[in-house]
A = this chain, B = another copy of it.
Amino acid sequence: VSTRLYSFVAGASGAWRIERMDAIAGAALPGAARLEIVAGSGAGDKATWVLRGMTSNERYVTREEKQQLVAKQEGLGRPASTCAALIPIRKSEAWWLLPQDERRRILEERSAHIQTGLRYLPAVARRLHHCRDLGTPEPFDFITWFEFAPSESAAFDRLLAELRATPEWEYVEREVDIRLARAPA
């Protein structure tokens, strides 16, 4: 199993308590009490559901944007980041048929996806996982995991509202918004 693969395992146990699950577009996911994030391929025997994805190379970011991101962003696991969101997304076939330059234009020049994300750094930490080319038919194309302090919850909601109002989001055909809180040890 690749060291870049992560499994998001929902069920009765896990380090994160699921507080809310909203189907923003398309079908919902079955409800569950807890979520565990596992390096590698999570065994899903007792799981309600398992989503898998890989960290990978940048698909749209330029050198200048990458430097801005690296300068501002902070990592996962900060003690104050007791809130999290797991947001799996599937984009339409029309999106994937677009050539690279048109996807970039929609994502950044027209939707400011990268610049919008930058404005919420370092408050919101994130890790993007790709699922579209895993070899198995996956229900989503991407899974993003976000962590932030409770005081940043309203800001995080604004970030999502901004992104969902963009031309890029017209290509999102399935999206589930899962909110979590770190469970007491």
- List chain B residues, Cβ under 8 A from A1: 135-137
Query: Could you say how many copies of this chain the assembly holds?
Result: 2
Q: Are A101 and B52 in contact (CB under 8 A)?
A: no
Q: Considering the chains assembled together, what is the distance between the CA atoms of A1 and B33 in angstroms?
A: 29
Which of A59-67, A76-84, A152-160 is near enough to bind chain B?
A: A59-67
Question: Looking across the interface, which residue of chain B has its beta carbon closest to that of A134?
Answer: B135
Within the complex, the shortest CB–CB distance from A164 to chain B, in Å, comes to: 22
Q: Are A137 and B2 in contact (CB under 8 A)?
A: yes
Does A5 lie at the interface of the complex (its beta carbon under 8 Å from any beta carbon of B)? yes
Q: Considering the chains assembled together, what is the distance between the CA atoms of A16 and B132 in angstroms?
A: 30
Within the complex, the shortest CB–CB distance from A107 to chain B, in Å, comes to: 11
Question: Looking across the interface, which residue of chain B has its beta carbon closest to that of A54?
Answer: B133
- Residue from B4, B52, B99 in contact with A63 in the complex, judged by beta carbons closer than 8 Å: B99
Question: Looking across the interface, which residue of chain B has its beta carbon closest to that of A57?
Answer: B96
Question: Looking across the interface, which residue of chain B has its beta carbon closest to that of A3?
Answer: B137
Q: Considering the chains assembled together, what is the distance between the CA atoms of A130 and B96 in angstroms?
A: 15
Within the complex, the shortest CB–CB distance from A85 to chain B, in Å, comes to: 23
Residues from 93 to 124 in A contacting B, C-beta threshold 8 Å: 96-102, 104
Q: Are A62 and B2 in contact (CB under 8 A)?
A: no
Does A58 lie at the interface of the complex (its beta carbon under 8 Å from any beta carbon of B)? yes
Provide 13 A-B residue pairs closer than 8 Å at the C-beta atoms, listed in order of the A residue.
A52-B135, A54-B133, A57-B96, A57-B98, A57-B132, A59-B100, A61-B100, A62-B99, A63-B99, A130-B133, A132-B133, A134-B134, A135-B135
Top 5 A-B residue pairs of the complex, sorted by shortest distance between their CB atoms:
A62-B101, A133-B133, A57-B96, A66-B99, A134-B135
